[in-house]
Amino acid sequence: MENVATDENWKTCFSQLAPGLVLFARRWTRSAADAEDVVQEAFVKFWRRNHDIANRGLLYATVRSIALDFLRRDSRRARRESTAMADVDKAVEPAFDIEDDSQRALVAAIDRLPAEQREVLTLKIWNELTFAEIASALGISQNTAASRYRYALAALKKNFPST
- Rule CB under 8 A: which residues touch another protein? 10-11, 14-15, 18-20, 22-23, 32-33, 36-41, 43-45, 47-48, 66, 69-70, 73, 95-98, 103, 106-107, 110, 121, 125-126, 150, 153-154, 156-157, 160, 163
SS3 (DSSP) at 74:
coil
Distance of closest approach, residue 60 Cβ to another protein, in angstroms? 14
Distance between CA 87 and CA 126 in Å, rounded?
Answer: 23
Nearer to another protein, 20 or 57 (CB): 20
Min separation Cβ 18 and another protein, Å: 5
The maximal CA–CA distance of the chain, rounded, in angstroms, is 46
Give the total residue count for the chain: 163
In the bound complex, what is the minimum distance in angstroms from residue 119's beta carbon to another protein? Answer: 14
Contact status, residue 129 vs residue 60, Cβ threshold 8 Å: yes
Least Å distance between CB 45 and another protein? 5
CA angle 91, 146, 124 (to 5 degrees): 55
- Of 30 and 45, the one with the shorter C-beta distance to another protein is 45
Give the single-character DSSP code of 4.
Answer: H
